[in-house]
Chain A
Amino acid sequence: EDQVTQSPEALRLQEGESSSLNCSYTVSGLRGLFWYRQDPGKGPEFLFTLYSAGEEKEKERLKATLTKKESFLHITAPKPEDSATYLCAVYGGNEKLTFGTGTRLTIIP
């Protein structure tokens, strides 16, 4: 059974304080690892898909990286509008998307 564990569960940062969110996974036949941002009361917003170890993708202040066991979402010089829950999910050989429980990120002005 595919499993996704995200840490930390919650993270509070000062504006401008860079940090990383972790997503550890076990999956049978990884077809893709997804990162999403979810604001309260909204559906997840697509950020990145990573397909193989060593791959990196960037979007504004966010950078996602992937190894064979985990993925990191690095946030550089965050702003208050980056506050949200960040979800990681894996898509494996069972053709199902398995989500982690997310990291609630709060950026303090």
Chain B
Amino acid sequence: GAVVSQHPSRVICKSGTSVKIECRSLDFQATTMFWYRQFPKQSLMLMATSNEGSKATYEQGVEKDKFLINHASLTLSTLTVTSAHPEDSSFYICSAWTAGGELFFGEGSRLTVL
């Protein structure tokens, strides 16, 4: 099946620093990718839709200046958490649609802000 890869899988940073998470579609092209956030024992919450070559679309309540999304190519989207604080600690997951209409997810990235 289609593969979506995320990197890094785990990252620990100090409060106030910025962290970049990469999401790649390995064997298909994705004009649209999605970024989710998941808190412990809760379901996935859509943060934003990443569109190749254009600005991302953010969900209500998501700070676009804090969560910067760049979709520079058909296989790569990046999420940068700027000036991270402990409350930004979470599990971040990306996903992408295949041409066959299946939505595949990456392995997730665990962010811990000290």
Q: Which residues of A are at the interface with B, using a C-beta cutoff of 8 A? A: 32, 34, 36, 41-46, 49, 87, 91, 96-97, 99-102
Q: Are B44 and A44 in contact (CB under 8 A)?
A: yes
Known A42-B108, A43-B106; judge A101-B43 contact (CB<8 A). yes
Q: Is the CB of A99 within 8 A of B43?
A: yes
Tell me how many residues of B have a C-beta within 8 Å of chain A. 20
- Selected A-B contacts with CB under 8 Å, 22 pairs: A32-B101, A36-B105, A41-B91, A41-B110, A43-B105, A43-B106, A43-B108, A44-B105, A45-B105, A46-B102, A46-B103, A46-B105, A49-B101, A49-B102, A91-B103, A96-B46, A97-B34, A99-B44, A100-B43, A101-B42, A101-B43, A102-B43
Residues in A whose Cβ lies below 8 Å from that of B88: none
Check A43 against B93 for contact (C-beta < 8 Å): yes
Tell me the bound Cα distance from A44 to B110 in angstroms: 14
